[in-house]
Amino acid sequence: MAQATSSPPDIIDEQAPARRSYNSDAAGLGRLRAGMFVAPALLLIAAFLVFPALWVLYLGLTNYRLTGIAAAEPQFVGPANFLDAVSNPVFWDSTWLTVQFVLGSAVIGQVGLGFTIAWLLRDRRGPLKRLVEGLVILAWILPSAVVSFLWVALLDRDGGTLNALLGLPGFAWLLDHPMLSIIIFNTWRGTAFSMMLYGAALGNVPPSHLESARLAGASGWQQLRDVVFPHIRGHILTNLLLISLWTFNDFTPFLITAGGPDGRSEILAVHVYKVALQSGELGYGAAVSTVILLINLVVAVFYLRLLRSKK
Amino acid sequence: MALRKVAAVLAAAGIGLTACGQSSGGGGDTIELTIAQNAIAGGKNAAAADFVANWVIPQFEAAQKAKGKDVKVKFVPSGVDDEQYKTKLSLDLKSGKGADVIDIDGIWAGEFAEAGYIKPLADLVGAEADSWDGWAQIPESVQGLATYNGKKYALPIGTDGRVLYFNKTLFQKAGLPADWQPKSWQEILDAGTKLKSAGVPVPIQVNAGTAMGEATSMQGVLPLLAGAGGEVQKDGKWTGASQPLKDALGFYQKIYGGGLGDPKLQQEAKGRDKSFQQFAAGKIGILMEGDYFWRGVINPKDGVAPMADRDQTVGYALIPAIEPGKGIRGQDFVSMSGGALRTINPNSKHPKEAFELLTFTLSPEALKEETKDGNVRITPRTDVNKEILAGEPLLTYISDKVLPLTAFRPPVAVYPQVSVALQEATAAVVGGTAPDQAATAYQKKLEGLVGGAGNIIAP
């Protein structure tokens, strides 16, 4: 028994050096070939992602402007723009508004509503399902600029469709509730993606598991919590990551409220546009962009770790 | 230069705008020129767009052909807010692109010149820039709009002035005279109160806030500041949280905090356009605006909010000082004037031909053609004005009564940033902040813009 277990390793040991040598050469060649295949992609990433990011970081350390003498001869100002940003109440207001926007329209809105619709429609067939899917997907396939103008017309206080339907003449959605307006808009616009993703994911939950849970007396919520969610955890986290980052960087609300009134819907993407291009402070805008990039990286790393844990 | 170009491309790519400039290429013997304005057929400044497309281009091409030159001109329209137009132009010019002949607002001249986006005309086309015969017809003050550090960077397209417009029908309803001319701010407020009692939805509307950009400064805070005896900049020093500024902001508070104006109209992204529509619809009693409002907005022919009965219904009055004699230079009445410029893109491959096109658009023939059929405006040329303003009461009024007492914005590069700070101060007051507090916040921001408290006049 002991010999039987020790013999195979001896044989392996005798052959091992030659195989290692062969494997080493092959691995080297393989790595070289792999490197050649990957090199163009790496070059593109370096050219279009890494270099611009570093360049934006550098611009954030200058007083570079869109016009004026600082457009022609920008000066290195060190971390002044970053310090200005973190001491600027508008930046923190924008950050807080962005958090509201992401939580409201991405997490609760698109992901939550998308899952709910997918769950409610999971076993349905026929015209109702097609109608709901059609309506939701329509919002997703229309260009942002088009749907933005549609929503401005819909929510307008004078002659807006929604006020006409609800009998609320003069109700100023965009002025009195600008954040709520853009949260509803973004939820409406992006729910289709989540709905389709969860629809596909729910199709992969073995019906037998749900059936077993039902037979064991599990309530609907318990079935969701103990059977469905663990099964589609990866889908949920990936979707959360993508939707959150998209929403975090979304500029479309600018087309609806222009960040107003009085900055009450000035999320970070709009804040950057306003300071960099409307006010022409490109250096400061680059500094804020860098901060946004860092926040995105932190969020992405957090989600990815969550995704890998307990996998 | 390399830094500017790379950064411009990155800025445009990173924030979603493309520097969609037009290069002035040309194949064979054909010279291709482009001319850009913030004007578009069927939209903003439609008359100007139509004029360039239908008269300037064919006439100029024909004139060049008669001289043996094959020149093709293309019009590059825009129909956007002035701030967006400025951003697009800046990115075009920064990237070494843009149309050959471009229109810019007069107050951008300083910052564009400092950035190297525009150059003195003489540097681009030589001595003929200074010897253009049209200069003799342009008053010194109007030439000053196009001059920076003693050099001519552009040709002025014209000038303008601000007045108080009022709806005579609503005034009659409120028992106010058709020849109304307030002599103090209190008289404006009194008229507003009467209009309100008569059921006018919006008695007074004075531009405020950041949503309408420079319109707030020119048709709002700057005339009020002048009316309170203040200037945004005087003898190189800037006005901070001074009494005139507090007075001006206090006037906003009386209007918007007192139910005489519609604060929401000032906060909307398209608030100015809406106020135009509402004035045309007879819902606004008094509106402070420039002559563009008369020419381009309520013009019965092709305004964006046409009033068929404009000439009978709309009255106009000088903007009074806070009290008689308390305006700048001790004046009873005040106004602000600006003006647009037309210049040559330093990136043009054909600067001499571009200059010919530029001067062609400001020839007496072109200006007379442009301003006929009710499209009258105050041109830069006195010889043309004499002829075209004769049958135009409002513009004659502005030319005769307003321009002699008007004021201009400081032609310095930092002014646009100061202007934004002023707009923010008005936005704060309309939003409920006390005038003194808004003035203090303005001064704090001003210190950062103009290089410290040492450059600000002590309150």
Complex prediction ipTM: 0.73
Residues B377 and B428 in one domain: no
- What is the spatial distance between Cα A142 and Cα A139, in angstroms, rounded to a whole number? 6
B135-169 exposure pattern, b = at least 16 Cβ within 10 A, e = fewer: eebbeeebeebbbbeeebbbbbbbbbbbbbbbbbb
Does B94 contact A175 at a Cβ distance shorter than 8 Å?
A: no
Residues B283 and B431 in one domain: yes
Residues B31 and B172 in one domain: no
Does A279 contact B420 at a Cβ distance shorter than 8 Å?
A: yes
Does B413 contact A69 at a Cβ distance shorter than 8 Å?
A: yes
Does B15 contact A278 at a Cβ distance shorter than 8 Å?
A: no
Residues B254 and B370 in one domain: no
**Residues of chain B found within 8 Å of residue A144, distances taken between Cβ atoms:** none
Q: What is the pLDDT of residue B392?
A: 85
Closest approach of chain A CAs to the CA of B115, in angstroms?
5
Does A72 contact B13 at a Cβ distance shorter than 8 Å?
A: no
Residues 6 or more apart in contact with residue A142 via CB below 8 angstroms: A150
Orientation angle between helical segments B435-450 and B243-256, nearest 10 degrees = 130
Residues B151 and B175 in one domain: no
**Residues of chain A found within 8 Å of residue B4, distances taken between Cβ atoms:** 71-72
Does B90 contact A67 at a Cβ distance shorter than 8 Å?
A: yes
Q: Determine the length of chain A.
A: 311
Q: A56, A104, A92: which is closest to A253 by C-alpha?
A: A104
Does A280 contact B90 at a Cβ distance shorter than 8 Å?
A: yes
Q: B358, B19, B422: which is closest to B214 by C-alpha?
A: B422
- The answer to whether the beta carbons of residues A284 and A84 sit under 8 Å apart is yes
Does B15 contact A59 at a Cβ distance shorter than 8 Å?
A: no
A167-197 exposure pattern, b = at least 16 Cβ within 10 A, e = fewer: eeeeebbbbebbbebbbbbbbbbbbbbbbbb
pTM for this model (two decimals): 0.78
- The answer to whether the beta carbons of residues A56 and A286 sit under 8 Å apart is yes
Question: In 3-state terms, what secondary structure has residue A194?
Answer: helix
Question: Which residues make beta-bridge pairs with B164?
Answer: B288, B317
- What is the spatial distance between Cα A42 and Cα A33, in angstroms, rounded to a whole number? 14
Residues B169 and B77 in one domain: no
Does B13 contact A59 at a Cβ distance shorter than 8 Å?
A: no
B420: its two tokens:
């934004």
DSSP A36-57: HHHHHHHHHHIIIIIHHHHHHH
**Residues of chain B found within 8 Å of residue A175, distances taken between Cβ atoms:** 264, 267-268
Amino acid at A219: S
B427: its two tokens:
């936005």
Does A69 contact B117 at a Cβ distance shorter than 8 Å?
A: no
What helix, strand, coil percent values describe chain A, rounded to 5? 80, 0, 20
Closest approach of chain B CAs to the CA of A164, in angstroms?
19
CA-based nearest residue in chain B for residue A156? B268
Q: B345, B362, B357: which is closest to B22 by C-alpha?
A: B345
Q: Among partner residues A68, A158, A282, which is closest to B11 by beta-carbon distance?
A: A282
> In whole angstroms, what separates CA B244 from the centre of its chain?
23
Closest approach of chain A CAs to the CA of B83, in angstroms?
6
> What CATH code is carried by the domain that includes residue B64?
3.40.190.10
* DSSP tag of A77: -
Residues B76 and B217 in one domain: no
Q: What is the pLDDT of residue A123?
A: 76
Does B114 contact A67 at a Cβ distance shorter than 8 Å?
A: yes
Residues B113 and B45 in one domain: yes
- What is the spatial distance between Cα B333 and Cα B326, in angstroms, rounded to a whole number? 9
| Chain A positions touching chain B (beta carbons under 8 Å) | 52, 55-56, 59, 64-69, 71-72, 74, 157-158, 172, 174-175, 251, 257-258, 260-262, 272-273, 276-280, 282, 285, 289
- What is the spatial distance between Cα A128 and Cα B343, in angstroms, rounded to a whole number? 61
**Contacts A–B by Cβ distance under 8 A:** 100
For residue A18, being part of any structural domain is answered with no
- The answer to whether the beta carbons of residues B158 and B340 sit under 8 Å apart is yes
Q: Among partner residues A68, A175, A278, which is closest to B115 by beta-carbon distance?
A: A68
Question: Which residues make beta-bridge pairs with B316?
Answer: B165
CA-based nearest residue in chain A for residue B274? A158
For residue A160, being part of any structural domain is answered with yes
CA-based nearest residue in chain B for residue A289? B14
Mutate to test the interface with A, among B268, B283, B415, B419 (most CBs of A within 10 A): B268
CA-based nearest residue in chain A for residue B264? A175
Q: Determine the length of chain B.
A: 459
- The answer to whether the beta carbons of residues B362 and B262 sit under 8 Å apart is no
By CB atoms closer than 10 A (0-12, 13-18, 19+), residue A133 is middle
**Residues of chain A found within 8 Å of residue B117, distances taken between Cβ atoms:** 67, 71
Does A257 contact B269 at a Cβ distance shorter than 8 Å?
A: yes
Does A71 contact B115 at a Cβ distance shorter than 8 Å?
A: yes
Q: Could you list the pLDDT tens digit for every one of the 459 residues in chain B?
A: 444 555 544 444 443 333 333 444 444 589 999 999 999 998 888 889 999 999 999 999 999 999 999 999 999 999 988 888 999 999 999 999 999 999 999 989 999 999 999 999 999 999 999 999 999 998 887 888 899 988 999 999 988 999 999 999 999 999 999 999 999 999 999 999 999 999 999 999 999 998 888 899 999 999 999 999 999 998 889 999 999 999 999 999 999 998 999 988 877 777 888 899 999 999 999 999 999 999 889 989 878 899 999 999 999 999 999 999 999 999 999 999 988 999 999 999 999 999 999 999 999 999 999 988 777 889 999 889 988 988 788 999 998 899 889 988 887 888 888 999 999 999 999 989 999 999 999 999 999 888 888 899 866
Question: Which residues make beta-bridge pairs with B456?
Answer: B238
Question: In 3-state terms, what secondary structure has residue A112?
Answer: helix
For residue A269, being part of any structural domain is answered with no
Q: What is the pLDDT of residue A101?
A: 97
| Chain B positions touching chain A (beta carbons under 8 Å) | 3-4, 6-7, 10-11, 13-17, 83, 87, 90-91, 94, 108, 110-112, 114-117, 209-211, 264, 267-269, 274, 413-414, 416-417, 420, 427-428, 431
Residues B90 and B174 in one domain: no
Residue-range definition of the domain harbouring residue B400: 2-160+338-408
Q: What is the pLDDT of residue B304?
A: 86
- What is the spatial distance between Cα A296 and Cα A287, in angstroms, rounded to a whole number? 14
Does B14 contact A74 at a Cβ distance shorter than 8 Å?
A: no
- What is the spatial distance between Cα B416 and Cα A45, in angstroms, rounded to a whole number? 38
Residue-range definition of the domain harbouring residue A111: 91-241
3-state secondary structure chain B: CHHHHHHHHHHHHHHCCCCCCCCCCCCCCCEEEEEECCCCCCCCCHHHHHHHHHHHHHHHHHHHHHCCCCEEEEEECCCCCHHHHHHHHHHHHHCCCCCCEEEEEHHHHHHHHHHCCCCCHHHHHCHHHCCCHHHHHCCHHHHHHCEECCEECCEECCCCCEEEEEEHHHHHHCCCCCCCCCCCHHHHHHHHHHHHHCCCCEEEECCCCCCCCHHHHHHHHHHHHHHCCCCCEECCEEECCCHHHHHHHHHHHHHHCCCCCCHHHHHCCCHHHHHHHHHHCCCEEEEEEEHHHHHHHCCCCCCCCCCCCHHHHEEEECEECCCCCCCHHHCCEEEEECCEEEEECCCCCCHHHHHHHHHHHCCHHHHHHHCCCCCCCCCCCHHHHHHHCCCCHHHHHHHHHHHHHEEECCCCCCHHHHHHHHHHHHHHHHCCCCHHHHHHHHHHHHHHHHCCHHHEECC
- What is the spatial distance between Cα A260 and Cα A53, in angstroms, rounded to a whole number? 29
**Residues of chain B found within 8 Å of residue A72, distances taken between Cβ atoms:** 4, 114-116
Residues B421 and B403 in one domain: no
Q: Among partner residues B7, B110, B211, which is closest to A59 by beta-carbon distance?
A: B7
For residue A204, the tally of other CB atoms under 10 A from its CB is: 9
Q: What is the pLDDT of residue A21?
A: 54
Q: What is the pLDDT of residue A310?
A: 58
B167: its two tokens:
């709806």
- What is the spatial distance between Cα A274 and Cα A261, in angstroms, rounded to a whole number? 14
For residue A145, being part of any structural domain is answered with yes
- What is the spatial distance between Cα A77 and Cα A79, in angstroms, rounded to a whole number? 6
Count of domains observed in chain A: 1
Closest approach of chain B CAs to the CA of A90, in angstroms?
12
Q: Could you list the pLDDT tens digit for every one of the 311 residues in chain A?
A: 334 444 444 444 444 455 555 566 777 888 888 888 889 999 999 998 899 999 999 999 999 999 988 999 999 999 999 999 998 888 999 999 999 999 999 999 999 999 998 888 887 777 887 887 787 778 778 888 898 988 888 988 877 888 888 888 878 888 889 999 999 999 988 888 888 889 889 888 888 888 898 888 888 888 888 889 988 888 898 899 999 999 999 999 999 988 888 789 999 999 999 999 888 899 999 999 999 999 999 988 988 888 777 55
Residues B34 and B61 in one domain: yes
Bond preceding residue A261 cis, omega within 30 of 0? yes
> What CATH code is carried by the domain that includes residue A112?
1.10.3720.10
Residues B294 and B358 in one domain: no
Count of domains observed in chain B: 2
Does A260 contact B90 at a Cβ distance shorter than 8 Å?
A: no
For residue B444, the tally of other CB atoms under 10 A from its CB is: 13
